[in-house]
Amino acid sequence: MSVTKINIVRFASKGNSSFIDTVTAKVQDYFQSTNTSPYANGGMWRKTIIMILCYTIPYLLIISSVGANSLLLFWVFWLLMGFGIVGIGTSVMHDANHGAYSPNKKVNAFLGHMLEVIGGYSVNWKIQHNLLHHTYTNIEGLDEDIDSIVLLRLSPRQQWYWFHRYQHLYAWFFYMLMTLYWMTAKDYLQVIRYKKRDLLVKQKISLRRAIFHITWYKMFYYSYVLVLPILFSGQAWYYVLAGFVIMHFTAGFMLACIFQPAHVMPDAKFPEPIVEGNKRHIKDTWAVHELASSTNFAPRSRVLSWFIGGLNFQIEHHLFSNICHVHYRKLAPIVKQTAEEFGLPYHVKRTFLIALIEHARMLKILGKNQLA
């Protein structure tokens, strides 16, 4: 579905004494009363260094031919780089591209470009993630996070095919391909689509310039991540290529397992917009919609939360994406209590494993019927 002005969805007016106004006031009071900045703290800066090192140290060991005499060790380095991609993507560039890392826009812009270092394109990311996903979560035709390949049905509003009956079994393989597809064809196809949908305008960039940038970024990426290892690792080119695939299979699978349980869940809402004339609208306000379509998981797991950039606190992230994720753990009780006061849903799964099992159950539900 094209994203045009006629297809944009409007949300209900928040009115007076709304949930979002109340919870925002409480969150602001928390930062003021604790004299805390909503941006990155010392721990976040230390984590940033660690995440970057998780990616760069294995890479430097690869091109230094440390793994030349051990194919297993060589591939372990690539595996660790996959972990590094996840760490940089969820904990560093994610906050920066939301403007949540620092009050200094130049710092955010600099760290946001870490996405180009690991093979992506930040302009596309901001459109898909910040604009479409965060505004129109789980709304078919607007949220591209649920608009996947035809083999995967991630919304009850999408076309159903017989093979979807088995997607709860095979989806995990396609999840592994996520970043590999992203690093190759996705950015080009996306930017052309965004030009047709008039979404490049707000990013102040032309299609020609965007394609030029993507091409140069990809050339830089493949030059250092493939060409240099082929030349200097001491391993055959096909082993280097296999390592590259291992890295992206690792990153793609892990990122999908982080993202999918946050929204594609049995208790998440996938609302059908109400059509009146040439306008479409959702009966709920934006904030209430975000509560209904998002799920937290493993709130007590500090290690998981640290590694995945607080994205297990998905509700807090969607409501306050301009706040650095290191604060989500403290904000979660505030948001939950306020939601309960307003009689609103607050979805949370006790552990990461439970969340994954529930996501698999949702895949099975979506695979059975045309309308789940």
According to the model, what pLDDT value does residue 15 have? 72
What gap in Å lies between CA 223 and CA 229, rounded to an integer?
9
According to the model, what pLDDT value does residue 17 have? 66
According to the model, what pLDDT value does residue 274 have? 87
Could you tell me the residue ranges of all domains in the chain?
9-368
Exposed/middle/buried for residue 253 (C-beta within 10 Å: 0-12, 13-18, 19+): buried
Please list, residue by residue across 292-308, b when 16 or more beta carbons sit within 10 angstroms of its beta carbon and e when fewer do. bbbbbbbbeeeebbbbb
Strands 274-276 and 279-282: antiparallel
According to the model, what pLDDT value does residue 16 have? 64
According to the model, what pLDDT value does residue 148 have? 87
According to the model, what pLDDT value does residue 12 have? 87
| pLDDT mean values, one per 10 residues, the chain (372 residues) | 58 82 97 97 97 97 92 97 97 96 96 96 95 94 91 94 96 96 93 92 92 96 97 96 97 97 96 85 93 97 96 98 97 98 96 98 89 47
